[in-house]
Chain A
């Protein structure tokens, strides 16, 4: 009953969003405000409807309705309620509903804003947003119905949307349950974060298409969607980091990022989105790169759809992929239509999008931004190539070849290094004209200090050339960013007579995007410290020890004390070891690596005992054990130097984005824009 209701609503919403696309286009073509308004209302109705449908699904999940296939697949009786609710995005069909729900929420938010002087954008924004939503709903309605129920027929039990002839309803006693590995707070939040990021990027794309169709190709669409882009970037970044943290805490291989195709698929939109985020600034400041920005946002949107497709289609085998399904070809068709259509629009408006301002100097800010863009796109391309390598190689060489993490690491490392170098240089360069001499004058101080820091590290910490290069770049970027803060604050201090801290705060508040950006740069460098640490200096060992015997690694002594087995919550058996950790002779703490065995899915999960410090992370895994009396227990131990800077940096970059997104922009460009609006309005009133 509830299942039919939920499915019915999905069908209605699907038709409604199709109507919304049609009405919006028709209204725009006929210049009929009434028809556009009808499209807008249809779109606004999708959110409450999808909320109802999601609630219906959640109701079924929470109340153990295992006759519904999706519920059977992702929940079981022993799961706590909050996990049953979040199981909504624990499987393919449910996560598609969730995607549409987020999409409708964001699209509604956009259509509710004041449109006054941007009214001509409205129908096209509605059309693009509704089309995207209709596509995802079509997946649910036609191929992946989360409300499909089990039916017993002569041929056996199968899930159908409608009752087949001569079938009896079939309801299993219990569900299979969410994969234990996914029962982690990081995994509960990680998919929604990624989805929020994906969906937020649809909005700038919708505006870009609206700008192309209406011919209003100035930077208005960029200004309108600046915040959406920032939020999208933040959510995607958080999603990626949370995924990494989950892997680090749960998968038990001492790492956080394995270049798994699905991770890479979520990383690609982030890379292209980062290029877009930087490049739009040049259009706002200098009126350049208009075609390029259009191209970037189209590419970002395609990467978002492709990312969703890869995670959901089973095209590439990976630890994330859900089962093979019919939706793969649909995604491919949609993606090709969208990219062909968007590129055609850009070509159509090519003339309007050209700029008369030329690049004046190789060392100007805009040239450096351009290089930054190429680097990000190259990284995205390498990622794309890497994840599709087996397909490509089989076509070219007829050999089945794949590439692994080492391949990605080796190829991307110089590109990331070049990006870091740019991150240090670009803030010091000027817009328009900038010569090597002016740039050199600004650079030498931070460069010399960084060199000094690197020299100290050479004598005290490491002689690894890659690490030293990395640390040099990290200190260079951090120093340049701090120097920029300091320079700005000092200037205010002298000109406005404010004290340093007031000047510092006002500086940030007056140009939040710029200083928020530097904040993000600094945070990224802290993350880089963590990445350099774990990638280059991770040490590991494993060994089987008796009680009171110990293993030494990286200055730590790990002594095996005890092991115990007891039943834990939600149907698991916990085997928990107690180890004492000593540094030298000094006792520092007790850790509890454990193995959780889930009876219901016959799976075990290895939870490390971790001791995080700013210097390193001691990470102990219990891998095998025997009853205390006999053979002892086997541990695998990692020392991951500096890794915690990765997590610290990722918390800080959120702060940087919040500064940039939440504080209203009062920089000169924004003020100028506001004035021109007023002028336009007065002249219109005349």
Chain B
């Protein structure tokens, strides 16, 4: 197969590691070793920015096709800029001429935004709670599957600068209950990350793991790497996992059954996400409560109400052909998953949830958390801007109920975070200088604002209480009372995200993983390839260890230091 100077390179086990590392360091992927039978090259010039004309399918540099007006590559269209300018100028002029009335309208608008967003979340989550013991897929259905009749499943794992947890990733994926001959794992590495490549090669994965080196280009985002992976995928179904993910062992099989039961319009099945390091500190506890509420109640409610589901960043399973028809992920959108969920709905497809959980590492540092959350909120803003470019078209495509659900959830969420501090400011002013606000605003509006703030916080606290209770994480439940503080952190992240939307719209705030004491980075031991039978032993041992680790909560590093050592320690234990 011919190699391209800027093409993605897929490596199989046995590839000359030193040669590849050398190529990466030289910045000339695929420049040598052509036609050696181990390397595939797909895709096109990765350095080309995605700037196609409106309505014209444009190449994003990875083989995926996007309509430019469905991509966040253009942040604002002129109509949106004009509307924002008119609103800003109008507000300014009105404030000069009729200050009290303008303030009344602004405060009322903030109240309406917060009340609608909180109300929608409460309503959707309440519907979700009603199905708390319903299993979309039962164990009996999983047991009835015949391995020989299963389709090929592709797992995409984008990894960047995460050399320390590659070995752990291999172990976690080895825990999956799926026939190895039907499994294809694509490890998506970036060209400028030779350390992770070295670690991946040192882990000596078996043949069904392929390492794909994504050529350097901008924007350097996870969705761009996933699009490259999608071009390589041979599976009938494809799923994305992050480097630190620990999916339930039967997740692939459950998703497969969910697809079979879900009908032809079902494009994606989303598994629940939760955290394995919930009790590490206050932030991880709050994050876990939030995720429990979001994935167990809110997404379940969206599913039952047949509203558009913004996908989570990982553990979303797709029908590969339908995903390709949708154009893959938008590499310019920093929450490409949420965007894809909405785009799928707009094209008449459906997203469902499945009763399986992937355990991730909760962010345990405030700075790291704000970086991650500002990216998510910025991505929601991008998604709203993209899908409201043609509001009438959206309304016609998805209908008024779904459009309202999209506006309230995707649009309402950042709006609520941006608006909340102003309500808090009013609260503080009212506490310290009673009567000051009523000099400008009618007293009924001040009362409504205070009530709105209290009620909104009450709803958020209560949903977290219920979510913790439902997961039987009783020890976490009292921490739900800290939700107002946690939500103020969201507001900080929202303002950062809004600022970045203007200044650095495509900048991907990298989340640092491996900070938890549950995920101690393992020393990378670069060595040559190992025989196939050795790696097979390693993988089965890894599976047993991952199961034991989850059951017992033992730190991975306490079990074994690296993938290569697992095989030995396992045999010794046996």
Answer whether A and B are interacting partners: no
- Chain A contact residues, CB within 8 Å of chain B: none
